[in-house]
């Protein structure tokens, strides 16, 4: 049997307000605990483009005593 223990997700968002909303959303989740949340401001002068890259580390279940299995799926909006 296999258990997903933890993940690291990286997001791109446009504003600091979106960073804060994402943090709040992640902290409210019932199926994981946030172990780390960080963001970096990025600016591309050539394109006059600014955004934030957010990294979230999530603990899903304990390594020594896993208590749930998680099925991971991804959806892409086109």
pLDDT digits (tens, 9 = 90+) for 8-18: 999 999 999 99
- Range of the structural domain that residue 38 is part of: 6-59
In the prediction, which pLDDT does 11 show? 97
Residue 73, domain member (yes or no):
no
Query: Above 90 in pLDDT, residue 51?
Result: yes
Distance CA 76, CA 46 (A): 29
Distance CA 35, CA 68 (A): 18
Distance CA 41, CA 3 (A): 34
Task: Look at the chain and report how many structural domains it folds into.
Answer: 1
Kindly give the pairing relationship between strand 33-44 and strand 49-59.
antiparallel
In the prediction, which pLDDT does 8 show? 97
Residue 30, domain member (yes or no):
yes
pLDDT bracket for residue 50 (50, 70, 90) = very high
For the chain, the C-alpha Rg in angstroms (whole number) is 15
Residue 71, domain member (yes or no):
no
In this prediction, residues 27-49 reach a mean pLDDT of 94
């Amino acid at each position: 049997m296999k258990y997903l223990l933890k993940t690291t997700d990286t997001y791109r968002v446009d504003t600091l307000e979106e960073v804060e909303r994402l943090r709040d959303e992640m902290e409210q989740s019932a199926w994981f605990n946030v172990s780390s949340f960080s963001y970096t401001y990025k600016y591309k002068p050539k394109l006059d483009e600014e955004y934030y890259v957010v990294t979230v580390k999530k603990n899903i279940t304990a390594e020594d005593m896993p208590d749930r299995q998680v099925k991971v799926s991804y959806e892409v909006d086109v």
